[in-house]
């Protein structure tokens, strides 16, 4: 049964380069969107965002959204529910008075290798460097003074939700990037919590880990209501009123799964923007621990294998800006969308193996290949065929190289079955290009839905709608999988591309050079 249009749901996602808001109606159709661009900063060797920029960005996003709405919807006082999501992982630590103890440490930092290794060995469960637990334990190992004063740690989505509602809670998908989750109980793994506390018992801290983590909620649960203070934080104009319910805050991996209808076993999605990660919902546990693979959950708690790479499109963006600057020597700077489309389409004209060119898009470290730091690098032999088509194809293939190495473990060693990957993110904006080359790289069909452009902000808006609309007239409650399949995506169209043999073989040849050339990247990190 379709719900009426008079209901509206607001989703806001804080991505790595853009904060985006989407308002949808009761039938899940986007009514309008708004955005605010922002960037992380490297401060004292750590990637961070200031909390002042968080609120400036959220206010700018909401104001932009209202300007872009149809006249009938610009009065957003009647929003039925709100959802907030953000980039996963990282470390926000607060004292008992709510003061931030150290600058926000984002997922992009690769400074926790020692802690990640110790926790992985202790738990028998892969703890990546990005995870909040790794950041916390590394601070313990570093004897950082602030650790003694911690009263609460959370992620970016959990922080924003806390300030909007007063509730220290988190969605299970985002929680699974803080600390391992027991899918059977729907909360943090008790054995591993005890193991973490055993590692810190002799430090004399006044806290145990569970006491400083946010409470875990699953999709569909009520996570509190907008307070007066929270409303003023994101909408000083007063259009959002206190009392609006909020769904559990989620990470961008979870909203990507929702936005692509990838929450059932053997489904998966790949998000390709500043970072790139593939999520595959598992039918059964993996055979062993793999440092290249995270085990997280869907927003309703199902186990998911995640291959996460810190770097994706940043190097493509840098070269595109250089080409744009060059064009200004001959006339007006082209529109960004036109420039990207033309450059991406040139990649399809390149040779299948990139003509002997190779590149590394490592702006930051890349744990999948063992790098704590990165250096963007482009290399070729004297006889390599340097042309724009080969060059652009190389940049796109380099954005997928590390992902392929991780996915090969899943589909090869672990024999995980995958029917199709659903793509979303900036790499897929130029129709058919990123999709075609991703299918070649991973040798699996890749689909892009017509709704993919709305991304994670739409995904968290769907979770807000699910919270309010999951109950049938009979009184039964739909699962998230059923709600998405029957209420949201039943009529959504998409384009599926199957890998072409020539492209698959070309990427394999490129990957051989890519793997061999990692020694160059390592030398660059050591020398530059």
How big is the chain by its Cα radius of gyration, in Å?
22
Quote the CA–CA distance of 308 and 128 in Å, as a whole number.
10
Question: Mean of the pLDDT values across residues 153-165?
Answer: 98
pLDDT at 103 exceeding the cut of 70: yes
Spatial neighbors of 127 by CB under 8 A, at least 6 apart, are 115, 116, 119, 120, 133, 134, 180
Instruction: State mean pLDDT over 395-406.
Output: 96
- What local confidence, expressed as pLDDT, does residue 454 receive? 61
- pLDDT, mean of residues 226-241: 96
Section 262-276 average pLDDT: 89
**507 phi and psi angles, rounded to 5 deg:** -65, -35
Residue partners of 478: CB distance under 8 A and separation at least 6: 470, 471, 472, 486, 487
Mean pLDDT (the chain, rounded): 94
Q: Which backbone phi and psi does 489 adopt, to 5 degrees?
A: -105, 0
| Calculated CA dihedral for residues 41, 42, 44, 45, nearest 10 degrees | 150
378-405 in b/e form (b: 16+ CB < 10 A) is bbbeeebbeeebbbbbbbbbbbbbbbbb
Q: What pTM was computed for the model?
A: 0.84
**Predicted pLDDT of residue 450:** 73
- Cα end-to-end distance, the chain, whole Å: 61
pLDDT band for position 2 (50/70/90)?
very low
pLDDT on residue 77: 87
In the block, tokens 């294998």 appear at 305
The whole-number average pLDDT for the span 357-373 is 93
In this predicted model, what pLDDT tens digit does every residue of 460-492 receive, in sequence order? 999 999 999 999 878 899 999 999 999 999 877
Backbone angles phi, psi at 8, to 5 degrees: -135, 150
Q: Which domains does the chain have, with CATH numbers?
A: 8-259+453-488 (3.30.420.40), 314-450+498-527 (3.30.420.40)
Q: Average pLDDT of 263-283?
A: 90
From 22-26, 389-393, 416-420, the region with the lowest mean pLDDT:
416-420
Instruction: Give the length of the chain.
Output: 528
pLDDT at residue number 83: 98
pLDDT for the residue numbered 1 = 31
Least confident residue range of 65-69, 80-84, 168-172: 65-69
Percent of the chain with pLDDT over 70: 98
Q: Give the pLDDT score at 377.
A: 97
Q: What percent of the chain has pLDDT over 90?
A: 85
Which of the four pLDDT bands, split at 50, 70 and 90, describes residue 75? Answer: confident
Structure tokens belonging to residue 24: 């949808």
**Residues near 516 by Cβ (< 8 Å), separated by ≥ 6?**
none
Nearest residue to 516 via CA among 372, 381, 395, 350:
381
Residue 356 has pLDDT above 70, yes or no: yes
Name the token pair of 302: 């199902």
Residue among 343, 438, 371 at smallest CA distance from 400: 438
- pLDDT, tens digit (0-9, with 9 covering 90-100), for 41-52: 999 999 999 999
Q: Which residues contact 502 (CB under 8 A, 6 or more apart)?
A: 352
Q: DSSP assignment, residue 246?
A: B
The first and second tokens of residue 361, run together, are 């898009």
Of the pLDDT bands very low, low, confident and very high (cuts 50, 70, 90), residue 507 is: very high
State yes or no: pLDDT of 4 exceeds 60. no
Query: What are φ and ψ of residue 446, in 5° steps?
Result: -125, 125
Residue 451 pLDDT exceeds 80: no
pLDDT at residue 3, as a whole number? 37
Q: What is the pLDDT of residues 306-328, one digit of tens each?
A: 998 999 999 999 999 999 999 99
């Amino acid at each position: 049964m379709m719900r009426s249009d008079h209901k509206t749901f607001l989703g806001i996602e804080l991505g790595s380069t853009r904060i985006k808001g989407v308002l949808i109606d009761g039938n899940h159709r986007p009514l309008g969107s708004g955005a605010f661009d922002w960037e992380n900063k490297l401060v004292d060797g750590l990637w961070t965002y200031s909390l002042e920029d968080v609120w400036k960005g959220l206010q700018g996003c909401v104001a932009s959204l209202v300007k872009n709405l149809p006249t009938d919807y610009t009065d957003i006082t009647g929003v039925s529910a709100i959802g907030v999501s953000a980039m996963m992982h990282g470390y926000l630590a607060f004292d008992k008075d709510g003061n931030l103890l150290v600058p926000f440490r984002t997922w992009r930092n690769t400074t926790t290798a020692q802690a990640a290794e110790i926790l992985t060995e202790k738990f028998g469960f892969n703890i990546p460097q990005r995870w909040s637990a790794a950041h916390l334990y590394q601070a313990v190992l570093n004897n950082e003074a602030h650790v003694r004063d911690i009263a609460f740690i959370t992620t970016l989505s959990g922080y924003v939700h806390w300030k909007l509602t007063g509730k220290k809670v988190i969605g299970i998908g985002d929680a699974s990037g803080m600390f391992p989750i027991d899918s059977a109980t729907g909360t943090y793994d008790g054995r591993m919590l005890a193991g973490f506390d055993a590692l810190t018992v002799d430090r004399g801290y006044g806290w145990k880990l569970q006491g400083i983590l946010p409470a875990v909620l699953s999709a569909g649960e009520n996570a509190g209501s907008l307070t007066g203070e929270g409303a003023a934080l994101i909408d000083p104009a007063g259009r959002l009123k206190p009392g609006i319910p909020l769904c559990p805050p989620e990470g961008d991996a979870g909203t990507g799964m929702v936005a692509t209808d990838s929450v059932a076993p053997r489904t998966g999605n790949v998000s390709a923007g500043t970072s790139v990660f593939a999520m595959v919902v598992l039918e059964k546990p993996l055979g062993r621990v793999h440092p290249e693979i995270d085990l997280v959950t869907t927003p309703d708690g199902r186990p998911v294998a995640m291959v996460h790479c810190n770097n994706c499109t940043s190097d493509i963006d840098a070269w595109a800006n250089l080409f744009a600057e060059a064009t200004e020597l001959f006339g007006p700077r082209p529109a960004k969308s036109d420039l990207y489309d033309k450059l991406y389409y040139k990649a399809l004209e390149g040779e299948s193996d990139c003509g002997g060119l190779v590149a590394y898009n490592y702006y930051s470290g890349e744990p999948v290949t063992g790098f704590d730091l990165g250096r963007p690098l482009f290399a070729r032999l004297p006889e390599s065929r340097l042309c724009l088509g080969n060059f652009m194809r190389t940049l796109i293939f380099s954005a997928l190289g590390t992902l392929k190495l991780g996915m090969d473990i899943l589909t090869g060693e672990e024999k995980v079955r995958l029917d199709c990957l659903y793509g979303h993110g900036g790499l897929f904006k130029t129709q058919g290009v990123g999709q075609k080359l991703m299918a070649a790289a991973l040798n699996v069909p890749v689909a892009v839905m017509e709704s993919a452009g709305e991304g994670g902000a739409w995904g968290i808006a769907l979770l807000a709608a699910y919270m309010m609309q999951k109950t049938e007239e009979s009184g039964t409650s739909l699962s998230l999988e059923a709600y998405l399949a029957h209420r949201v995506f039943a009529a959504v169209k998409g384009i599926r591309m199957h890998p072409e043999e020539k492209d698959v073989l070309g990427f394999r040849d490129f990957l051989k050079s890519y793997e061999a050339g990692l020694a160059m990247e390592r030398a660059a990190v050591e020398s530059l």
